[in-house]
Chains A and B, each alone.
Chain A
Amino acid sequence: MKELLRVQNLCKTFTLSAKQQRLEKTNEKRKVAVDNLSFSAYDGEIFGLLGPNGAGKTTTLRILSTLIKPDSGDAFLDGKSVVREAEQVRTKIGFLTSELKLEDYFTPNYLFDFFSDLYHVDEQVRAKRKHSLFTRFGISRFAEVKIADLSTGMRQKVSLAIALVHDPEVIIFDEPTNGLDVITAKTVTDFLLELKQEGKTVIISTHIFSLVEKTCDRVAIIIDGKLVTCDALDKVKNGLSLEDRFFAIYEEVAGGVE
């Protein structure tokens, strides 16, 4: 299988401001968020980054989506470096997180066109894609309603549609089901599987075991910025439930749950 994403010795350390030190309840000036991380993801699979709060999942995905730069190491998306060829990487990926918001003032219809413009999507292709995505997520009825007036679930669906305006090869999704009710969450997980069916590569981060078990082909567990294990889901589970396996690993690495 083709290696679509290769992460090589990625490191990222944050310098904490006084305010951040207070929030994190620490005296340390520096916080190692990602510590020499290496893994690969292959064409057409759903890859999961699993880890507890503060493990460095979001930081890793932000580096992959070129929003921030690593201190050292690099990652290659379809051969393009996220550090040196950021602009080309951006055309290949769709990045989705709850932090990336859509402007309240605009309608899904307008935003879809606006982002299509930024990705230079051809008019005809755009119209077709809009129709199919809007129908798929039931957005058509709300196409002319301002984002401000949409429900959280509907907003998430619009964000999803808009992240796909350019039909990216790789979809990077930080905490796909966070803050969603069970019904919307199911729409999203179903859609991840559909994307896989279409041959897309999907990379998600989560701390929810069931989501990984339902969707992922391969999974990497990271704790404290370090990669603990990375393999096919069945191999990682090793006969146990993912949850039991995770806590067994966690005990080894971090010395148990305090």
Chain B
Amino acid sequence: MKGNILTIMKKELKRLLGDKRILINAVLLPGILIYVMYSFMGYALAGMFAPDAAPLQIAAVHMPTSVSQMFEAAALPYIDIDATDVAEIADIKSLIAAKEFELLIVFPADFDTMVDAFDIKSQTTTAPNIAVFYNSTDSDSERVYAQVAAMLDSYEATLANKFDVNGGDEVYNLASEKDRSGQVFSSLMPLLLTILLFSGCMAIAPESIAGEKERGTLSTLLVTPLRRSELALGKIFAITIVGTLSAISSTIGTILSLPQLTGGASDGLPLFYTMGDYLLLGIVVLSTVLLFVSLMSILSAFAESIKEAQTYMTPLMIVVMLAGVTGMFGGAAEQPLVYLIPVYNSVQCMNAVFSFEVVQLHVAITVVSNLVYCGALAFILTKMFNSERVMFSR
């Protein structure tokens, strides 16, 4: 019994891993693609916010002493423009429009005295207005504008200061560095991992079952004394191994690219997880791959061709993605019974592992229930291999 399962597994592995096309598509490419894609996304995001190498160009008219001190403190150099130099001001405005100049700030001539004179309750004088010209399509200009506007806003707030919130020098956010990065990780990883696991399996399961059926090589096995259950298990195990390799490749790609993607927010994060965390994650991932493979095997056995099998899997993919999305929000589910729901349970477990809140009972329920589902599905697959309707329909 065991011998035959092993024979089938060996053949499948030789077939799947020996085929360069499958090896590259299903195992190497996911990891490489993810690394390149996320790193690129990370660099693009970082580039959007990183200061330009070229110095910022800021001009101010009637810069009051109170504000100029703030500019100095924020290390924002600016040039003073004379209010009477109308041509120069118009020039700067068109430079800003052409994205060659970042900002022009125009204060009223006697800004500081006007501010002192203005009383918010009596409103005998009009409130002084500051004009800040910028270009929202120029990322540098947009950024400096946001910075200056925030600076002026907080200056305005201090003028009528009644109380402060978090105004001191203490660290008010008491979440540890580890927890904060865990949050980033736990909201991203469950969805990513689930999708990667699914697509990894999807690259091989149809090939191994629907493909063999389509090419007429499966019936050749059915005339041998090999039991149908041995065939089903041998195939499921072999596809699971390759699917897991694909998952490992994707995970390595993700972990390597994460520092770039999150702009350093998760720097060194993988180090925070213990071996125990990784072990639990590994068990969850393995049982999930097993479940995906069993489901896909059944769909593949129904299908007449690889293409047809892939069509059947699209609805399943959508369900899996929806389950994956539930892992993006909030903490993991606390009610133990929901860990009986396939796919959803895996996503919740991953979320828990990544946010350092893993409950071993939940993982146990998840893994055991997944194994039970796989057993049932393998039984169905065996029945299907036995069914002439499925195997020999024309």
A positions within 8 Å CB-CB of B: 17, 20, 23, 62, 65-69, 87, 90-91, 93, 95, 99-106, 110, 114-115, 117-120
Contacts and interface: CB of A to CB of B under 8 A. Distances in A.
Contacts of B216: 99-101
Contacts of B388: 67-69
Interface stretch (B65-73, B223-231, B324-332, B371-379): B223-231
Nearest to B216: A101
16 contacts: A17-B393, A68-B388, A68-B392, A87-B227, A90-B225, A100-B216, A101-B215, A103-B215, A104-B215, A114-B11, A115-B224, A117-B7, A118-B7, A118-B225, A118-B226, A119-B224
Contacts of B220: 100-102
B15 interface: yes
Given A117-B7, A118-B7, A103 B217 contact: yes
A90 B128 CA distance: 98
Of B220, B392, B394, the most chain A CB neighbours within 10 A belong to B220
Interface of B: 3-4, 7, 11, 14-15, 18-19, 212, 215-217, 219-227, 388, 391-394
A251 B160 CA distance: 114
B5 to A, nearest CB: 11
B18 A67 contact: no
B3 A66 contact: no
A100 B3 CA distance: 23
A65 B15 contact: no
Contact of A105 (B19, B222, B226, B391): B19
B392 A67 contact: yes
Contacts of B227: 87
Given A99-B219, A103-B212, 19 more contacts: A20-B394, A62-B392, A66-B223, A67-B223, A67-B388, A68-B388, A90-B224, A91-B225, A93-B223, A100-B216, A102-B220, A103-B15, A104-B215, A105-B18, A106-B14, A114-B11, A117-B7, A118-B4, A118-B224
Contacts of A115: 224
Nearest to A93: B223
Nearest to B394: A20
Of A20, A100, A106, A120, the most chain B CB neighbours within 10 A belong to A100
A88 to B, nearest CB: 8
Nearest to B227: A87
Contacts of A106: 11, 14-15
A90 B220 CA distance: 12
A170 B388 CA distance: 23
Given A62-B392, A118-B225, A119-B225, A101 B217 contact: yes
Contacts of B14: 106, 110
B281 to A, nearest CB: 34
Contacts of B226: 118
Contact of B223 (A100, A101, A110, A114): A100
A69 B14 CA distance: 33
A173 B78 CA distance: 93
A81 to B, nearest CB: 15
Contacts of B19: 105
Nearest to A17: B393
B11 A90 contact: no
Contacts of A95: 223
